[in-house]
Amino acid sequence: MSEKWVAVCQDQDLIPGTGLCALVEGEQVAVFKIRKDSQLFAVSNYDPIGDANVLARGMTGSIGESIVVASPLYKQHFDLQTGQCVEDSEVSIKTFSVRKNGESIEIKAS
């Protein structure tokens, strides 16, 4: 079976350092382009601690070697590569494969 990739936006739609929310097969996904090197990340938009779909509105940054997004609600940090909450090892969010295909940003569907 071949991989299915879903186009969610154009590269120019992503402002480095901020997020964009896209609906991928009925699930909200937060997509980020990191300011430093334009690296792309995609995670669930759902903040399990704040119980709301808000992570695309969070601020990106780093803690040590980890690239993170801070939830705009209670400020927990989620590692954009692993989905692990920095402050609570019991909590994590789903991560998605993301790629740039030409000028299109695509998320790998499950």
Assessment of whether the complete model's pTM goes beyond 0.85: yes
110 CB-contact burial (10 Å; exposed 0-12 / middle 13-18 / buried 19+): exposed
In this structure, the chain runs to a length of 110
Domain with 79 in it = 5-108
pLDDT of residue 17: 87
CATH of the domain at 92: 2.102.10.10
pLDDT of residue 35: 84
* Among 47, 42, 37, CA closest to 85: 47
Contact (CB, 8 A) for 19 and 56: yes
- In the chain, the number of structural domains is 1
Contact (CB, 8 A) for 82 and 62: no
Q: What is the per-residue DSSP string for 29-60?
A: EEEEE-TTT--EEEEESEETTTTEE-GGGSEE
Mean pLDDT by 10 residues, the chain (110 residues): 89 92 96 90 97 97 95 96 97 97 93
